[in-house]
Amino acid sequence: MTEHIQFSSEKDALVLLDQRYLPGREDWFDCKTTEDICFALVVMVVRGAPAIGVTAAYGCYLAAREAQGMDGDWKENLRGLLDKIENARPTAVNLRWAVREMRGIWDAAGDVSLEDLCSTWLARAKEIHAGDIRMCELIGKFGGELMDDGDTVMTHCNAGALATAGYGTALGVIRGAVDQGKKIKVIANETRPFLQGARLTAYELHRDGIEVKVACDNACALLMKKGLVDKVVVGADRIAANGDAVNKIGTYGVALLAREFGIPFYVAAPVYTIDPETPTGDDVPIEDRDPREVTHVGDHQITPDGVEVYNLAFDPTPNELIAGIITEKGVLTAPYDEAIAELFR
């Protein structure tokens, strides 16, 4: 599944499958401006750390195109547009990585024309797009080898093709195991409040013919106690230098339960999700999202007027709860600070 992120040369636009409306309907959202890119990122037309990175890479190209038509110094205008993209969402490091990658290309090019910069950035965005799919396939290969035939794997949120350029990280591990001839079943935690597990993970796996059951988030303990879960695999929006993994809210609780019941808990993510500049998970800024995501289901309000809510979008899972970090370079194991330092050397 790779068609959900497309660059249209005809439209000169990034075309995204609007994930807000899945699985009920498949709508498409055209990004032609920086404002479009930032809107798509903030309201979660597109979400998932690798997919955010790919979107941001194309967004830099669109920002350069936009700067062509602006008054004043194009370099100053473009830097301002890049700042807007980089700051659209705070937690996923892939967003910052993609913008910094494009800034680095610009710096290295020196006194380049805007037209040449547009051409270079579009080519690089397409490379990042294709490269993300290859990375996910390798994550699937390494992670699939950790799965046993007949396993039931629990996952939290959506770290599948929809969260990447294609194939997926956590769901890439599932697909990798299936590609290796193993029979795998999946329990997809619904993942309140945005319901990425119920809406998106179940959509992907059902479409691929992989057996999946959706579970309420608060059923995890009972399912594990009953012996219905063999392994847990999740994605990550940022992995700190010490191996702490920041993922969708509720992941930390699932990891604590997995330790209680002796179930291996794995994190699957490409290397560029690892942030060596952030010492621990507690140093990662946690996005506080629109309360309406909690107070409403669709257009239906479920909480009383005037009642405040918490809508923290992510939580850090301490490295001691993680059995392995599955990357396209292989599986990292504790001590993670040493493994990550060696990886970046």
Residue 202, marked binder: no
Measured CA to CA in angstroms, residue 292 lies from 36, 234, 248, 303, 307 at distances of 22, 26, 17, 10, 11
314 forms beta bridges with 248
Was 49 annotated as part of a binding site?
yes
Tell me if 248 is assigned to a ligand binding site. yes
Ramachandran class of 243: left when φ > 0, alpha when ψ lies in -120 to 50, beta otherwise: left
Among residues 237, 244, 275, 315, which one is catalytic? 237
247 assigned binding-site residue: yes
Distances (CA, A) of 99 to 63, 93, 274: 11, 10, 16
In the structure encoding, which two tokens stand for residue 297, read together?
């289901």
301 is in an annotated binding site: no
User: Which structure tokens are listed for 158?
Assistant: 């959506």
Which of 237, 241, 245 lies closest to 319, judged by CA?
245
CA–CA distance from 201 to each of 39, 169, 198, 324 (Å)? 23, 12, 6, 22
- In the annotation, is 237 catalytic? yes
| DSSP-based three-state secondary structure for 303 | coil
**CA distances to 48, 49, 121, 145, 198 from 157, in Å:** 9, 12, 31, 22, 8
Rounded-to-integer distance, Cα 54 and Cα 127, Å: 10
241 vs 339: CA distance, rounded Å: 9
Q: Which residues sit in the known binding site for substrate?
A: 47-49, 89, 196, 247-248
Which residues are designated catalytic? 237
Q: Which residues sit in the known binding site?
A: 47-49, 89, 196, 247-248
